[in-house]
Amino acid sequence: MLTWGTLLKQSAQTALEQLLEKLGWKTIATIALLLLTLFGAPFLIHSHPSTVEVKSLIFAGLQNVDELATVTMDAKATVKLEKTNEFLGMQIGQTNFVYEGVSKVQAGINLKQLQVQSISPDRRKVHIVLPAPYIRDLGLDVEHSTILADYTDWFADKSTPELQEEAQLKAMAVIKQQSCEGRILEAANSSAKALLTGVLTKVGFNQIEIDTQLPQESACR
């Protein structure tokens, strides 16, 4: 026996089917697109923020750079090279070359290795882990670097371009070591943490946890 409720339900279902058939799927799709435009995606579906979304927000806030230089410092080092000249096992002269190398050292992190550990559903809390900092760039400023001394004692050859190149490489190695001893990598960690906190705050996160990692031993070799 059919009840009034059953008849009403069947009538409503039939009316809906007739309406869908009359409007057509193109019209329905247009209405759905209009609702999406007016009210946004949450009107249709509620999704949790993804790690990809958070990474995209960070990259956009940092102008889409892959490698982030967070600390830049000026440095210089003075090195001395001595090349002896021997005859029949006896030293008969020496070439002396003193070079002062000047450089700008950059340290930072590789944003491609950034990890998003967790995100709250309300998009207010985020936890990320930064990769270990590294020396991003250490270029010798040849124009401002100087040959402080270039002389020979007794019977010795004059300095060669190869000797100057060796002095430049040695100066860069000393600068790198001095920068590490000056804790440039630790400063890069602190700067990166502060920078990313600012970026995430601007996009709406108010509980931000950022973990940093100790520099790898190979970073200063």
3-state secondary structure the chain: CCCHHHHHHHHHHHHHHHHHHHHCHHHHHHHHHHHHHHHCHHHCCCCCCCHHHHHHHHHHHCCCCCEEEEEEEEEEEEEEEEEEEEECCEEEEEEEEEEEEEEEEEEEEEHHHCEEEEECCCCCEEEEECCCCEEEEEEECCCCCEEEEEEEEECCCCCCHHHHHHHHHHHHHHHHHHHHHCCHHHHHHHHHHHHHHHHHHHCCCCEEEEECCCCCHHHHC
Beta bridge partners of 149: 98
pLDDT at 1: 46
pLDDT at 51: 74
Longest CA–CA separation in the chain, Å: 124
pLDDT at 196: 92
> Within a 10 A sphere around the Cβ of 220, how many other Cβ atoms?
15
Q: Which two tokens stand for residue 151?
A: 């002389």
pLDDT at 43: 40
| Residues in the chain, pLDDT under 70 | 1-49, 63-66
pLDDT at 66: 66
Any idea what the Cα angle at residue 21 is, between residues 30 and 12, rounded to 5°? 105
pLDDT at 79: 96
Tens of pLDDT, residue by residue over 109-150, are 998 899 999 888 888 899 999 999 999 999 899 999 999 998
